[in-house]
Chain A
Amino acid sequence: MGRGVRVAAPLMPAALALGASFGVLARTAHVGAVAAVVMSATTFAGSAQVAAVSVLGAGGGVAAAVAAALLLNARYAPIGISIGESFRGRFLRRLTEAQLVVDESWALAGGGTPAFDRGVFLGAGAALWVAWTGGTAIGALLGGVIGNPSSLGLDGAFAALFLALVGSQLRSRRALAAAAGGALIAVALTPVTPPGVPILAATAAAVAGWRRV
């Protein structure tokens, strides 16, 4: 687990700052500080939380907010299945550890590969959870004291992270085919589907790498 914390350490300032920006967003959308922190602690999925709170802030209603968020999080079903084998123990323990699944904890631990390291996953997931939830509390309570997080380039940081992680995956022509397919699906669907659908649909590109041997 210690290794997971170390691997995730460079992402913690970014997760903290993004958590703070979510807290600020929740404030402006009239979602209370307690509700915002509870959401970060229980949902623990940045883009989905931002989507739900944005819909609420725009007066979109509960059903629309929940649908937008769950669409964004639908990818966690296949992601969870890809590492499901590594979870041991009783139902409650597996259910609890599963909540640490986010894109970053899964990818940093080598998710979806035979080298998946459960300890790194748990350490990285826990470290990111602390930063995300703590950041939300700071943002929700202090609000305007924090500057605009986009001026810190955090969105660019996460794009670069995913680029580095996909680079580490391209060890075979099959993986290259899957990555190219995933990128193409995302490019094609982003303009025509609600947010969340392109990433979910990109999982179908795994078949491209699977069939080509």
Chain B
Amino acid sequence: MSAAWASVIAVGAGTAALKAVGPVAVGGRRLPPRLLELLSMLAPALLAALVIDEGFASGRSLVLDARVAGLAAGGVAVALRAPIWAVVVAGAAATALVRLVT
């Protein structure tokens, strides 16, 4: 088997298992309220980390590049209570524009 196919199969199986842990093990059962409370804090923690990762990370370094303009434009759109699609379009347009002129 080629290295490519071996990787496709191993990554696919591993990812499927990681994604399924919760839905298969918990599936339908009620979790203790204390645990649910903890899990409800997962979204802000994880999403904030994803903003850092998508907005500033480049491999192992933190950089300021055109994506900052996308984040700023997205932030303005959020502040103006724009719908999600407008935030996404603003982020892409500002990032692309800065890349175009720099």
| Chain A positions near chain B (C-beta within 8 angstroms) | 7, 9-11, 14, 29-32, 35, 38-39, 42-45, 48-49, 52-53, 56, 61-62, 65-66, 69-70, 73-85, 87-89, 91, 94-95, 97-99, 101, 103, 107-108, 111-114, 150-167, 169-170, 174-176, 178-183, 185-187, 190-195, 198-199, 202-210
Please name all residues of chain B whose beta carbon is closer than 8 Å to the beta carbon of A76 when the two chains form the complex.
Answer: 15, 18-19, 21
A157 lies within 8 A of B70 (CB): yes
**How many residues of chain B have a CB within 8 Å of chain A?**
78
Return the contact of A158 from the options B10, B41, B54, B90 (Cβ within 8 A).
B54
Number of A-B residue pairs with CB-CB distance less than 8 Å in the complex they form? 346
B101 to chain A, nearest CB (A): 12
Contacts of B50 in A (CB 8 A): 103, 162, 166, 199
Residues of B within 8 A of A39 (CB): 8, 11-12
With A160-B88, A207-B38: A182-B44 Cβ-Cβ less than 8 Å: yes
User: Is B64 engaged at the interface, CB distance under 8 Å to the other chain?
Assistant: no
Query: Please, what's the 1-or-0 string for B25-50, where 1 marks a CB less than 8 Å from any CB in chain A?
Result: 11111110000111111111111111
Q: What are 8 pairs between A and B in contact, CB < 8 Å?
A: A39-B11, A42-B15, A43-B15, A94-B20, A98-B19, A98-B24, A160-B90, A183-B51
Query: Do A151 and B73 touch across chains, with their CB atoms under 8 A apart?
Result: no
Most central of A11, A53, A76, A88 by chain B CB within 10 Å? A76
Which secondary structure dominates chain B's binding surface?
helix
Does more than half of chain A's interface fall in helix, strand or loop, or is it mixed?
helix
Cβ distance A129 to chain B, nearest Cβ, rounded Å: 12
Say how far A154's CB is from chain B's closest CB, in angstroms: 6
